[in-house]
Structure 1
Amino acid sequence: MSKIQALAEEINNRLPDTANAAEILQQLNHVLFIEKGYEGNSSSYYDPRNSFLNDVIERKLGIPISLSILYIELGHALGLPLSGVQFPGHFLVKLEISDGAIVLDPYFGGISLNEEDIEERLQEYYGPQANKSHAQGVLASSSNKDIILRVLRNLRNLYMQDGKWEKALPIANVMTHIDNDEPADAFKARGAIYDQLECHTSALADYQSYLNTSPQTQSDQFIRARIIELAATVRKVC
């Protein structure tokens, strides 16, 4: 955090005492993205280091959510009440103002998005049926817990896709304890990790917990079949 504070002080020293929000944002963007060279890591988007804030600060590379976290922390240090936005597929930042909100994209240099930009992005994600009414729900401010869970989910899924089950497991353990809003996802993912590690008793327990989270999950025939197989062949306890 000392590096973030030092960067915030460098930006603050360039601002007049009467600087308004627009002037602070302009200077923040100039220093962070133009002078310091922070940018989205489009060439190695799925590098796990893009999700660790210490690596992002050192390498000056990140993904939308990690660059947004850095941006929000700098904004707070400069007196701007920035908040995160769980925009589908691409984390954003917003600043509430008297007549609405300024929506910013730190992955693309802190650019400001207008209503047309937001609607276009929604249509890219949801299809042409998306409109301004969809934007109201997806532009709500995220809690710190929501942000942490999104970072953890990104990392967990990345390690799972790469078959790095030992690295995915501790992240999955944390998520099963704090993800009260989506427990089905947490239990199913950890069950799959245990399954790959041949920790069959633990996988069986998580799959059963997953099925018990809601009526919708109870219809998951693949998991039901896997539970039957595991129950018949349990041979390793973790």
Structure 2
Amino acid sequence: MTERNPKDSSQERVYRAIEALVAGEDEAIDLARAALLIASIEYPDLDMAHYMAQLDALARRVYDVLALPDPSTLPQLPADIATLDVIKTINQVLFVEEQFHGNHDDYYNSNNSLFNKVLDEHTGIPITLSLLYMEVAKRVGIRIEGIGLPFHFVVRCRLPDKIVYIDSFHQGRLLSEEECREMVRHIARTRLKVHSHWFEPVRHKQLLIRILNNLKKVYTDNEDYIHALTICDLLVLIAPQTITERRDRGVIHLQLKHYAPALHDLTAYVEQAPGAKDRYDMLNYIKAVRQIIAMMN
């Protein structure tokens, strides 16, 4: 089991639950459940069943508009239902009837990355609204894949004759690959060289890592180091091979004056990343921590 720091019993249960979710095949990870577990760090009284039932209800609404039986009694969509019609119906339910939308006015609010609050407030950022779309579509019976473009997250669906991209942050607008390229250039405000790997589906673990990194940035920018530390713990769990996560956790420990854990993480970082550009800075941190620990003894 991955090394981690002592937590209260509720946090420990969350940690163990996420550890179990990500232990198997990537495609088998229940993204909605994992995202809600992450959210329960800030909202420990979160009712998981309540939010999972909301997703089921949204899927039933899509079936109702399509005049189909309840999805629990219809294991898959009828062959004569066009996938594009299903996408347009999901858009109608989510973005017209329920008015889910991108939070342009308060983009860096942590609630935009917490799936329970996205479902409560009907607003979020591209990745959490894309997750919502993927989860509703899964329950309806169509396969939607996450696409982690630079600066923006969208989803895509393979139709018989083409691939369509769906921008959940902008009310489910449908895009071609070229329109996605233009959108990225517009956001970047420069003529970026577009790489084909941008359009490769994001693995489930990578999607969770992206949500966690968003939260880590929000918490650290707000100097909320207690929540940032728990997010760092989860990142080390899910991405143990990414040594920079140990560095970041070590720095957070230092901010919280957890000197022994800070020393442990920062030492691991400099040992495993001997060519890192910030190696000198981290060695200075390590020297300072050792001096503090020596004075405390």
The one-letter code of the counterpart of 1:3 is Q
Match of 2:108 in 1: 46
Match of 1:152 in 2: 212
Which whole-Å deviations, capped at 9, do the CAs of 1:80-102 have from their partners, x for residues lacking one? 10011121221111112344421
Question: 5 Å matches for 1:71-90?
Answer: 71-90=133-152
Residue 192, structure 1, aligned to residue 251, structure 2: yes
Deviates more, 1:76-85 or 1:216-225: 216-225
Judging changes above 3 Å, is the alpha-carbon distance between structure 1 residues 104 and 8 closer, same or farther for their aligned structure 2 residues?
same
Q: Distance in 2 between matches of 1:115 and 1:225?
A: 46
The one-letter code of the counterpart of 1:76 is K
The one-letter code of the counterpart of 1:171 is I
Long gaps (5+) in structure 1: none
SS at match of 1:44: coil
Judging changes above 3 Å, is the alpha-carbon distance between structure 1 residues 235 and 55 closer, same or farther for their aligned structure 2 residues?
farther
Q: Distance in 1 between matches of 2:111 and 2:253?
A: 24
Q: Distance in 1 between matches of 2:209 and 2:202?
A: 11
Work out the number of aligned pairs and report it: 233
Partner of residue 130 from structure 1, selected from 179, 193, 196: 193
Residue 118, structure 1, aligned to residue 180, structure 2: yes
Deviates more, 1:107-116 or 1:165-174: 107-116
Which whole-Å deviations, capped at 9, do the CAs of 1:83-135 have from their partners, x for residues lacking one? 1112122111111234442111100111112233222233343942413xx1x
Match of 1:12 in 2: 63
State the 1:219 CA deviation: 5.3
Contact 2:100 2:122 in 1 (8 A): yes
Q: Distance in 1 between matches of 2:179 and 2:280?
A: 41
Partner of residue 275 from structure 2, selected from 194, 216, 233: 216
Deviates more, 1:7-16 or 1:162-171: 7-16
SS at match of 1:37: coil
Contact 1:211 1:218 in 2 (8 A): no
Higher relative contact order (CA 8 A, sep 6+): 2
Which whole-Å deviations, capped at 9, do the CAs of 1:132-183 have from their partners, x for residues lacking one? xx1x201111121111111111111110110000111111111112213523
Contact 2:145 2:157 in 1 (8 A): yes
Contact 1:103 1:113 in 2 (8 A): yes
Contact 1:87 1:138 in 2 (8 A): yes
Match of 1:95 in 2: 157
Long gaps (5+) in structure 2: 1-51, 68-77
Taking structure 2 as the reference length, the TM-score comes to: 0.73
Contact 2:165 2:177 in 1 (8 A): no
The one-letter code of the counterpart of 1:159 is Y
Contact 1:188 1:207 in 2 (8 A): yes
Partner of residue 203 from structure 1, selected from 262, 269, 273: 262
Contact 1:201 1:236 in 2 (8 A): no
State the 1:15 CA deviation: 1.0
Contact 2:103 2:123 in 1 (8 A): yes
Q: Distance in 2 between matches of 1:218 and 1:3?
A: 46
Q: Distance in 2 between matches of 1:126 and 1:226?
A: 37
Identity among equivalent pairs (%): 27
State the 1:218 CA deviation: 6.4
SS at match of 1:91: strand
Contact 2:249 2:265 in 1 (8 A): yes
Judging changes above 3 Å, is the alpha-carbon distance between structure 1 residues 236 and 67 closer, same or farther for their aligned structure 2 residues?
farther
Partner of residue 235 from structure 2, selected from 149, 166, 175: 175
Once superposed, what is the RMSD of the aligned Cα atoms?
A: 2.0
State the 1:30 CA deviation: 1.1
Partner of residue 140 from structure 1, selected from 190, 193, 200: 200
Deviates more, 1:83-92 or 1:211-220: 211-220
Contact 2:243 2:273 in 1 (8 A): no
Q: Distance in 2 between matches of 1:122 and 1:4?
A: 30
SS at match of 1:210: helix
